[in-house]
Amino acid sequence: MNVNAELSSIFNSLKSRNVQVQEEASNKLFQYLQKHGEETDNIFEMFAKQLQSQKKEDKLGCFTAMNKILKLSRETSIIHYVNKILPVMRQQMVTNDTALVEKGAECLGNLAEMGGAITAQANDETLAQAIKWLRDDTNPKSNKIEKYSAVLLLREYARKLPIITFNKLFDGDAYRRVFDACRDHRENVRMTAAECINHCIRQITERNTRKGHSNQTKLIYDEVENALKSDSDPFYQHSALSILVAIIQARDISKDILKVSKHHKSLIVIVVE
């Protein structure tokens, strides 16, 4: 692989432990691609190689740079190399490091949005993998990073590819596995899972506006009602209240949801306010 001195210097800076240095290197790579947009082959090979490193800063530098240069996706040939890097990116999501998987999920979401139809198969595989991780780990006391990675990916895809993600979650019972994650003892897992459901609520609201009542609305209502009325898990109830707020804010609330439980004063406060 023939790499010029300028690119070599940029990628060395991306390996820095200093976040500011990584940001500056990302900006330089962005500027480089503005001038040499056709030279993306080497760059994605360099990303793939650096992602194989065992050092956290090397991987974070890649994610930071990719998130920066993806803004050029429609102006350069970068888009044609996305499928080469997506599988390598997905492998990073099992690394037991919270900051790393958070940055990785953000980057995968941006890659998916940029790729469009070109990355359709890879996007489907990523969503399927996230759902599998949730199915494989239903223990609320688990500390496995895969569960957090799963809800992070689903949240990012719900933001960037809402229709595809919505259909994937509600074509069967996959959405229930996201609700299961709302029971997790880790706050970041619960909050991210609730955010994912909240993005689905927005998608339902948009569909209702165009097509009328959606069956998926009742599915979410039922989960919220069960949590607040019958479930004794305080983590699950708190997540359900968060989801209920999103439902109310979306102005897509049924009268039944107001009858959930007379014992939940917090619910009454939310509705009144």
Lowest mean pLDDT: which of 45-54, 74-83, 92-101? 74-83
pLDDT reading at 54 higher than 50? yes
84's tokens: 């080469």
Instruction: Give the residue with greater pLDDT, 115 vs 213.
Output: 115
Nearest to 236 by CA among 172, 184, 161: 184
State mean pLDDT over 37-63: 85
pLDDT band with cut points at 50, 70 and 90 for residue 230: low
Task: Give the angle 205-208-213 at the CA atoms, nearest 5°.
Answer: 125
pLDDT reading at 254 higher than 70? no
> Residue 113's pLDDT is what?
85
State mean pLDDT over 192-219: 76
pLDDT band with cut points at 50, 70 and 90 for residue 145: very high
State mean pLDDT over 12-30: 94
> Residue 37's pLDDT is what?
64
Instruction: Give the residue with greater pLDDT, 184 vs 69.
Output: 184
State mean pLDDT over 251-262: 44
- Count the alpha carbons within 13 Å of 109 in the hemisphere toward its beta carbon: 22
> Residue 209's pLDDT is what?
57
Distance CA 112, CA 83 (A): 9
State mean pLDDT over 48-66: 92
148's tokens: 């957090």
- Cα-trace Rg, the chain: 21
Distance CA 30, CA 34 (A): 6
pLDDT reading at 39 higher than 90? no
State mean pLDDT over 102-117: 87
pLDDT reading at 3 higher than 90? no
pLDDT band with cut points at 50, 70 and 90 for residue 232: confident
pLDDT reading at 84 higher than 50? yes
Task: Evaluate the CA torsion angle 227, 231, 236, 237 in order and state its sign.
Answer: positive
Instruction: Give the residue with greater pLDDT, 133 vs 116.
Output: 133
pLDDT reading at 211 higher than 80? no
